[in-house]
Amino acid sequence: MSLSQHAFARTDTSRWAQWWWTTDRWLLGATAALIVVGVLLQFGTSPAAASRLGIAWPFHFAVRQSIFAGFGVAIVLATSLLTPKGVRRVAFFVYVAAILAMLALPFLGHNAKGATRWVEFAGFALQPSEFMKPALLVLVAWMFAEAQKGDVPGVSIAFGLYAAAVVLLLLEPDIGQTALITAAFGAAFWVAGVPISWIMGMGATAIVGLGSTYWIFPHVANRLHLFLAAKPSEPGQVERAAQAIAAGGGFGRGPGEGVMKVQIPDMHTDFAYSAAAEEYGLWLSLILIALFALLVIRGLYKAMKISDPYEQVAAAALFVMVGMQAFINIVVNLGLAPTKGMTLPFISYGGSSMLAMSLTMGMALALTRRQPGAYMAEDGRDEADAFG
């Protein structure tokens, strides 16, 4: 008898037993693995980061990340217990709270590196936009589904929610997050089955809009110039991150033996992937990529089999967002794109990133749970029986 069968019998009708037998364990396992790996990797980068910032305790960031991870696990479990309607309600309140916090940033926010993205309280810096992203996608999916019923102008409301988020992100400014939610919003648009002409129009508008940031925001132009420079006089973080990956080779320098983390200020945050590659080598890099690929591919496969339009679009958009964020971060680490200030989900240090990504995966797990009537088999019968 397996551990799961011993812990929860099929006849057990308790809430946790029903959760265990209806939750996709591949998605749950990949999420748990990423959280554990992220915490372990912080013990390698924390000493260098603490020393650089004048913090006496070398494992300051590693312990904090462990605490964030504990709260993250609680959020994943609690959120994944929700019904699809419960996910929708949580998304509404999170979106409103995040938008209000983003509106307050110009007055109460903390400025760092030319951007005002964080609200500080009790020694903790919270980035509201991280929580706004999954909430926005769930609400947009809900509105697209309502538009199909003809009850409300769902498409117009969805675009209004998206536009409000984009305007506030550009005021921070945060171009990377703007591009990310635009891609995820476009994915939701596509899955919702809107006319291809609308999608092409939105794509063209997004390209023009993101391209115009080169002239509107000086830091965007500066980063692009540095990235395109043939031989920068002083290697920046992107160049050093790529060097760290190359130095790691197939099996790495060894745990805690990386040298580039001393030279890269953000090695424990935006460049955690490079730190892992330098110390553990190509094999761990491929494992991380495989875990994210599993989340996205398995998640989209489950989402496409959901019968309810709202649940299908919301789940697909959430998995696309996770995959796109991981892709952008890894591409930057490989030196193939200029810096975006975007974390690697569950791996990079940061409370906002950990908690918001836990909320994202909790919502995705809740939406893809095997509920009566949620999935349809190829022959049209309900697949509510057993979990595959």
Residue 121 host element (H or E):
strand 115-121
How far, in Å, CA of 275 to CA of 260, rounded? 8
Q: 213 burial class (0-12, 13-18, 19+ CB within 10 angstroms)?
A: middle
How far, in Å, CA of 359 to CA of 295, rounded? 15
pLDDT of residue 221: 64
**Is residue 375 one of the residues assigned to a domain?**
no
C-alpha atoms less than 13 angstroms from C-alpha of 22 in its C-beta half-sphere? 26
| Total-model pTM | 0.89
pLDDT in tens, the chain (388 residues): 444 555 666 666 678 888 888 999 999 999 999 999 999 999 988 988 888 888 889 999 999 999 999 999 999 999 999 999 999 999 999 999 999 999 988 887 776 666 678 887 766 778 999 999 999 999 999 999 998 887 788 889 999 999 999 999 988 888 889 989 999 998 898 888 766 666 677 777 777 776 777 666 666 667 666 666 655 555 667 778 888 888 888 888 888 788 777 777 778 888 899 999 999 999 999 999 999 999 999 999 999 999 899 999 999 999 999 999 999 999 989 888 877 778 999 999 999 999 999 999 999 999 999 876 666 554 444 544 433 3
pLDDT of residue 98: 95
pLDDT of residue 302: 95
- What contacts 15, CB < 8 A, 6 or more positions away? 81
- What contacts 205, CB < 8 A, 6 or more positions away? none
**Is residue 4 one of the residues assigned to a domain?**
no
CB 49 within 8 A of CB 61: yes
CB 180 within 8 A of CB 328: yes
How far, in Å, CA of 21 to CA of 310, rounded? 23
Residue 186 lies in domain: 23-367
Q: Which two tokens stand for residue 80?
A: 């994944």
**Is residue 7 one of the residues assigned to a domain?**
no
How far, in Å, CA of 175 to CA of 160, rounded? 19
pLDDT of residue 381: 46
Quick count: other Cβ atoms within 10 Å of Cβ 361? 30
Indicate the number of domains in the chain: 1
Biggest alpha carbon–alpha carbon distance for the chain: 68
How far, in Å, CA of 230 to CA of 29, rounded? 43
Query: Residue 239 to residues 109, 152, 207, 228, 337: CA-CA distances in angstroms?
Result: 31, 50, 27, 12, 11
**Is residue 159 one of the residues assigned to a domain?**
yes
Q: Which two tokens stand for residue 378?
A: 């190829």
Counted residue by residue, the chain has a size of: 388
**Is residue 231 one of the residues assigned to a domain?**
yes
pLDDT of residue 366: 97
- What contacts 221, CB < 8 A, 6 or more positions away? 214, 215
**Is residue 359 one of the residues assigned to a domain?**
yes
**Is residue 357 one of the residues assigned to a domain?**
yes
Task: Note the Cα 92 to chain centre separation in Å.
Answer: 19
**Is residue 238 one of the residues assigned to a domain?**
yes
Cα distance from N-terminal residue to C-terminal residue, the chain: 17
C-alpha atoms less than 13 angstroms from C-alpha of 69 in its C-beta half-sphere? 23
